[in-house]
Amino acid sequence: MPMLPLIDEKEANAEVRAVFDDIKTSRNTDWINNFWRALANHPPTLKRTWESLKEVMMPGALDPLTKELIYLAVSVSNGCQYCTASHGAAAKRLGMSAEMLGELIAVVGMANETNRLADGYRVPVDERFENLF
Amino acid sequence: MPMLPLIDEKEANAEVRAVFDDIKTSRNTDWINNFWRALANHPPTLKRTWESLKEVMMPGALDPLTKELIYLAVSVSNGCQYCTASHGAAAKRLGMSAEMLGELIAVVGMANETNRLADGYRVPVDERFENLF
Amino acid sequence: MPMLPLIDEKEANAEVRAVFDDIKTSRNTDWINNFWRALANHPPTLKRTWESLKEVMMPGALDPLTKELIYLAVSVSNGCQYCTASHGAAAKRLGMSAEMLGELIAVVGMANETNRLADGYRVPVDERFENLF
Amino acid sequence: MPMLPLIDEKEANAEVRAVFDDIKTSRNTDWINNFWRALANHPPTLKRTWESLKEVMMPGALDPLTKELIYLAVSVSNGCQYCTASHGAAAKRLGMSAEMLGELIAVVGMANETNRLADGYRVPVDERFENLF
Amino acid sequence: MPMLPLIDEKEANAEVRAVFDDIKTSRNTDWINNFWRALANHPPTLKRTWESLKEVMMPGALDPLTKELIYLAVSVSNGCQYCTASHGAAAKRLGMSAEMLGELIAVVGMANETNRLADGYRVPVDERFENLF
Amino acid sequence: MPMLPLIDEKEANAEVRAVFDDIKTSRNTDWINNFWRALANHPPTLKRTWESLKEVMMPGALDPLTKELIYLAVSVSNGCQYCTASHGAAAKRLGMSAEMLGELIAVVGMANETNRLADGYRVPVDERFENLF
């Protein structure tokens, strides 16, 4: 059960509806998923989050699928069930296969393992790794 | 300061040296970074971690750079300083530019933000997101 | 399903019942929520946790609502479903409105985003930020 | 050492300088802290983050000090050193005393403890805690 | 709902079946729990994870129950529901009593509390704690 | 640099000194480590934390070394540098060898890996794992 009711398009005010319309247009769908319906309880957060997401996820030096894979990997690593499910679906729409998902989860697992090995041994950063760029 | 002394190649026993040699050969380098020198305090962990890493990171449905970007993203998200520095360097060797790093960090930031928004509103997973494959 | 059965007031031993009675008196309620019923499986943890909580949450330099908002924010940030629900309810009893909840979740989201940006860039602490008091 | 060089105001391009100027005006200071100098390596992230932060932290249903205390609490809970130092300083400017900081850290500690108790016992959410608003 | 279907023994290919057989033999059971059935979607991860687990959890300087208690404690601390349930069951099989579970959860709670107190005060490591071995 | 000055025994008030004296007596040492000197800035937190720790860590169904290993494992898993160093030292005093530390870190690593594999596949809890006690 959500903390606040999921806002339906019909009950949405003009500010919320404008964002919902943009989501539907941008994604070429007629459907709004629960995340945005929850955020609609606080319209400024809805608007800011949607606009930030559009900006961050647009094609750049990284292509959209790579960005979505990174998003999914972080969501898995954080144990966020909703985000794992929704960004899993988004990555699949952009071309992620079951095989790619299997490899992604394996990398997330290894990263979490070695992150803790590095923390457990308190490994000092090598000088050669400083000043990356 | 590490929890246990960093093992130098010269003091390494045969089991450790075999792993160190494989690291140097696989990476075409003559240098062993601190992570492996710390793990060498527990040779079975050194050997298992190195072999797992080689297997997980080899080209598959995802290419090596994409895997390394995912690894780096998780390390940033977990706040692991050593891993952020070392996998940042690894990703750069595989072709990550400063622009790509900037975009990667932005995606990691957004994912952490929306993960917590989803948790805060306790958003239920949409039925359409179930049964991904 | 909980790891251990939720202890009912009727089956509680004297030590547990004393804590349950104090919870009901302090909160002016006749109801014990599941968290305390689970902790009752280990009476020393029940007693210590309840007493610590009473001490930490009593009015001080910070008022009870502010403390409860901080508690809720941390629970959201940790992805703890139970604590998000229970401390959401507690904050509401102390005066948190839906608008305040919306702003709180937005701040938690931003903090998680910028925490990871700071970790990703490995930003060194400015000298001016040291020696706070 | 940061992953990318901290951008100095003198070397900043027009887009970065505009944000730096707005930070200085908004905060009534002549100084840019390292976080923004790091983000300046990726101007869209600098601009978006600064504008989001201004929006999220402005007075609303929660006053600026309460928002800053929540920000600090999350940063402490996430173990983000930079953010703990910088938002500690920000909260102090807005009126946080050493006593308030002591109480805030105590609440963060208790929340982390009971979050894990709830997770460890796998406590089911009470029906009364659903449908908060 | 899992991200990918749980693989049944009957539909498993030879590689997966070999691991399933080894799990059943090693654990003296005729049953495969959902974790392995999920991992069977990516056979290399199934095989590597099972072999790593066998190696890490075998008796050494730490006995199997102590290792399993540590595993459970980390799973609780990470808020991983599945792992808390499955490693709780595994620890019970090795001799963990309800009293031991109560104490374990209490230690996990305290550790999470003091971890954040140390982070909140940004406590510098004492020189005497360096060079542990 | 700590957020607040480390309190020296000589400047401590009576309440703080009583706790410091009890720490020295209980641990049979003449030395107070930085954690307690930081907490002394907020005497109620100092007193409550010390007394909680004494209670939680005393011999029970789990022996003191096992409790300390669990404490250390959680600290490593949380990436808390101070606590990893201080509880590493505490565990060593109680008998932890370098070999045991190596195995502990390996278990922490594996647990973090499989926690994320379970989260990534969104594995449902098996019915047999419910109703543990």
Please check whether residue D12 is in contact with residue D20, taking contact to mean a CB–CB distance below 8 angstroms.
Answer: yes
pTM: 0.98
Element (H, E) at F38: helix F34-39
Please check whether residue C121 is in contact with residue D2, taking contact to mean a CB–CB distance below 8 angstroms.
Answer: yes
Which residue of chain A comes nearest to F83, CA vs CA?
A: A120
pLDDT in tens, D96-125: 999 999 999 999 999 999 999 999 999 999
DSSP letter assigned to residue D4? S
pLDDT in tens, B82-130: 999 999 999 999 999 999 999 999 999 999 999 999 999 999 999 999 9
pLDDT in tens, C79-121: 999 999 999 999 999 999 999 999 999 999 999 999 999 999 9
Could you say which of A1, A56, A131 has the minimum Cβ distance to residue D1?
A131
pLDDT in tens, F19-48: 999 999 999 999 999 999 999 999 999 999
Q: What angle do CA A55, A59, A65 make, to 5 degrees?
A: 110
Q: Which two tokens stand for residue E32?
A: 């495969």
Residues from chain F that touch E97, judged by Cβ atoms under 8 A, are: 61
* F4-30 average pLDDT score: 96
Could you say which of E4, E78, E80 has the minimum Cβ distance to residue A98?
E4
**In chain B, pLDDT over 90 holds for what percent of residues?**
98
Question: Which CATH superfamily hosts domain C60-123?
Answer: AhpD-like (1.20.1290.10)
Could you say which of C88, C98, C109 has the minimum Cβ distance to residue A41?
C98
Is D102 close to F42, i.e. CB distance below 8 A? yes
pLDDT of residue B131: 84
Residues from chain C that touch D34, judged by Cβ atoms under 8 A, are: 123-126
Name the pLDDT band for F1 (thresholds 50, 70, 90).
Answer: confident
Cα first-last separation, chain C: 46
**Domain A1-58 indexed as CATH 1.20.1290.10:** yes
Q: In 3-state terms, what secondary structure has residue F85?
A: helix
Is C79 close to B116, i.e. CB distance below 8 A? yes
Please check whether residue E133 is in contact with residue F91, taking contact to mean a CB–CB distance below 8 angstroms.
Answer: no
- D98/chain A closest Cα distance in angstroms: 30
Please spell the DSSP secondary structure of chain A, one letter per residue.
--SSPPPPGGG--HHHHHHHHHHHHHHT-S---HHHHHHTTSHHHHHHHHHHHHHHHSSSSS-HHHHHHHHHHHHHHTT-HHHHHHHHHHHHHTT--HHHHHHHHHHHHHHHHHHHHHHHTTPPPPGGGS---
pLDDT in tens, D61-76: 999 999 999 999 999 9
Residues from chain C that touch F44, judged by Cβ atoms under 8 A, are: 55
Is A119 close to F84, i.e. CB distance below 8 A? yes
User: Considering the domain F61-122, what is its CATH architecture?
Assistant: Up-down Bundle (1.20)
For the domain covering B59-133, report its CATH number.
Answer: 1.20.1290.10
Is the pLDDT assigned to residue B1 strictly greater than 90? no
- A33/chain B closest Cα distance in angstroms: 7
- State the Cα–Cα distance between residues F6 and E121, nearest whole angstrom: 9
- C15/chain A closest Cα distance in angstroms: 34
Could you say which of E1, E4, E131 has the minimum Cβ distance to residue B1?
E131
| Cα–Cα nearest to D57, from B67, E116, D49 | D49
pLDDT of residue E131: 84
Q: In 3-state terms, what secondary structure has residue F41?
A: coil
For the domain covering E61-133, report its CATH number.
Answer: 1.20.1290.10
- A43/chain E closest Cα distance in angstroms: 30
Name the pLDDT band for C1 (thresholds 50, 70, 90).
Answer: confident
* F83-103 average pLDDT score: 98
Residues from chain F that touch C5, judged by Cβ atoms under 8 A, are: 133
Q: Where do the structural domains in chain C lie, given as residue ranges? A: 1-58, 60-123
Is E52 close to B48, i.e. CB distance below 8 A? yes
Number of Cβ pairs < 8 A linking chain B and chain E? 25
Is A122 close to F77, i.e. CB distance below 8 A? no
**In chain E, pLDDT over 70 holds for what percent of residues?**
100
Is F99 close to B42, i.e. CB distance below 8 A? yes
pLDDT in tens, A70-91: 999 999 999 999 999 999 999 9
* Mean pLDDT rounded to a whole number for chain E: 97
Partner chains of B (3+ C-beta pairs under 8 Å): A, C, D, E, F
Q: Which of A6, A76, A83, A96 to mutate to test the interface with B (most CBs of B within 10 A)?
A: A83
pLDDT of residue F131: 84
Is the pLDDT assigned to residue E29 strictly greater than 90? yes
Residues of chain A scoring pLDDT < 70: none
Number of Cβ pairs < 8 A linking chain C and chain D? 233
Q: Between helices D98-120 and D64-77, what is the axis angle to 10°?
A: 50
- F77/chain B closest Cα distance in angstroms: 10
**In chain C, pLDDT over 70 holds for what percent of residues?**
100
Residues from chain A that touch C78, judged by Cβ atoms under 8 A, are: none
Which residue of chain A comes nearest to D2, CA vs CA?
A: A131
- C98/chain F closest Cα distance in angstroms: 30
**Domain A61-125+129-133 indexed as CATH 1.10.1660.10:** no
Is D38 close to C121, i.e. CB distance below 8 A? yes
Is F45 close to D84, i.e. CB distance below 8 A? no
- State the Cα–Cα distance between residues E72 and E87, nearest whole angstrom: 5
pLDDT in tens, C9-36: 999 999 999 999 999 999 999 999 999 9
Is there a shared CATH topology between the C1-58 domain and the C60-123 domain? yes
Residues from chain C that touch D7, judged by Cβ atoms under 8 A, are: none
pLDDT in tens, F60-88: 999 999 999 999 999 999 999 999 999 99
pLDDT of residue A131: 84
Is A112 close to B33, i.e. CB distance below 8 A? no
Q: Between helices F98-121 and F64-77, what is the axis angle to 10°?
A: 50
CA dihedral A13, A16, A22, A23 (to 10 degrees): -130
pLDDT in tens, D24-81: 999 999 999 999 999 999 999 999 999 999 999 999 999 999 999 999 999 999 999 9
Which long-range contacts link A88-95 to residues 24+ away (Cβ below 8 Å)? A88/B129, A88/B132, A88/E3, A89/B128, A89/B129, A89/B132, A91/A65, A92/B132, A92/B133, A94/A64, A94/A65, A94/A68, A95/A65
